Amino acid sequence: MYSGLIREFEDLLGPSSVLYRPEDLLLYEYDGSIEKGRPNVVVFPTTTEHVSRIVKLSAEHHFPIVGRGAGTGLSGGALARTGGVMLVFARMNRIFELDVENQRATVQPGVVNYELTRAAEAHGLYFAPDPSSWKSCTIGGNVAENAGGPHTLAYGVTTNHVTALEVVLPDGEVLRVGSTHGDAPGYDLTGLFVGSEGTLALVTEITVKLSRKPEAVKTLLAIFESVDDAADTVVDITARAITPAACEMLDGWTLRAVEDYIHAGFPTDSAAVLLIEVEGLAETVAAQAAAITEVCHAHRAREVRLARDNAERNLLWKGRKNAFGALGRLAPSNYVLDGVIPRSKLPQALRRIRQIGDQYGFQIGNIFHAGDGNLHPIVLFDPRDKKQFERALQAAAEIIRHCVEIGGALTGEHGVGMEKSELMPLLFSDADFALMRRVHDAFNPDSSLNPGKIFPLSKGCGEIRVRHSSSSRLRVD
């Protein structure tokens, strides 16, 4: 039934830009999450005009569309839950403009996060949002999920750095929102689209702020004999109104796996480390580093190391940003969670995560943005063992529920996608869903863009029944 649409796509894009054979589609049935969903057709546009035409053709044939960047997402947001057309932005990867004087860049959605910083750094600028996958994830994907990263604590998430967007609506109309220099009058439609997970429109052009490189940077590694001491240190740093650029935590079990793989300099005999970075004017940075060192020692830090140079600093961050990959050496698969808690509840939350791991029989590692309370517990499991997979899902749900129960949220940067849609009622009432649905329907009334995401299936998507499985294709009834 797709043959006519495929021919039209090939006429528009060329045969090499249209995939439909089963063996070609296998790569696109998964992302960085544990979910699966295979599209029927994959297309690779290079221009906004292509995207608009693809959307119109898909609408004429009544097929849903899912936008996809690099596929590094961790919530199933870029998967074709109900089949249909997958629109991959990998070839829309041009940097249209670097406006050095006004510290702005305008890019296509397929530009890789790190490549934007590489293009800007010759001018003393960089793009501040830096997810762990920054060397592969795309700016468009960052916009869709409102991605964060280690330096979110000081610089905010993606939405704080996006000033304008070009988007394609479900009927193919091209719309521009926001302003190059920010603070456009009227409703903040740019803010509405950022983080909407491709359910309102497809983003085809992005204008972002670039940040100036700081005068001075100091990176500290605080080493602890107790996870609770490390967690209490984060709480105290916040209480003293010290705001580092980044404050990351790794527990001992996790850092040993990372050190064995990366050799970043993490002490393998410790219970936890904090990787803390301060940036700014040289005098301010020195004072903050001294204050943070004092707080760490007050909470029984065994040692606080200061990176001697950029090489040592970069190696420490290499360890942090490759931590998820390091854990891939220990089990066939892992489930990276994304919950948010009040920072004051950090020790309590980590104790509860350990209890849940014991309850379900898993070693759960912890690598997370401690400074802003964004947890990333990692459940290692074997997806070939169905019972083990089901236990992993149950343990994950228990952890996220606990985050909400102590005043937190379902997600800090990975998005809701398929992963957390059924947990949304933990935070939102029927009235909340009704309002969100009205906003959704104002842009995407037929749910033709990224259907089956964000909203729980029982809240307006009841016709979709998805069988969760880690080893087979999702079935849509």
Confidence of residue 259 (pLDDT cuts 50, 70, 90): very high
Q: What is the pLDDT of residues 353-387, one digit of tens each?
A: 999 999 999 999 999 999 999 999 999 999 999 99
- CATH architecture of the domain covering 216-325: 2-Layer Sandwich (3.30)
Determine how many CB atoms are found less than 10 A away from the CB of residue 446: 12
Global pTM value: 0.93
Determine how many CB atoms are found less than 10 A away from the CB of residue 318: 15
Q: Whole-angstrom Cα distance, residue 247 to residue 142?
A: 21
Fold identical between 216-325 and 331-405? yes
Does 67 have pLDDT greater than 80? yes
- Output the six-digit token pair for 148: 């964060």
Q: What is the pLDDT of residues 70-97, one digit of tens each?
A: 999 999 999 999 999 999 999 999 999 9
Instruction: Give CA separation, 42 vs 39, 92, 125, 257, in Å.
Output: 7, 15, 35, 37
Confidence of residue 460 (pLDDT cuts 50, 70, 90): very low
CA angle 250/397/200 to nearest 5° reads: 95
Question: Domain-by-domain residue ranges, the chain?
Answer: 1-213+428-477, 216-325, 331-405
Instruction: Determine the average pLDDT of the residues in 135-160.
Output: 96
Question: Is 418 in contact with 398 (CB distance < 8 Å)?
Answer: no
- Output the six-digit token pair for 341: 């808690």
- Output the six-digit token pair for 163: 């000033």
Residue with tokens 């001075």: 216
Question: Is 95 in contact with 204 (CB distance < 8 Å)?
Answer: no
Query: Strands, E, within 155-245: which ranges?
Result: 162-168, 174-178, 202-209, 211-212, 216-224
Provide φ and ψ at 14, rounded to 5°: 95, 150
- Model pLDDT, residue 325: 86
The correct answer on CATH 3.20.20.210 for the domain covering 331-405 is no
Instruction: Give CA separation, 214 vs 211, 284, 362, 472, in Å.
Output: 9, 11, 42, 48
* Residue 204 C-alpha from the chain's centroid: 19
1-213+428-477: CATH topology is 3.30.465
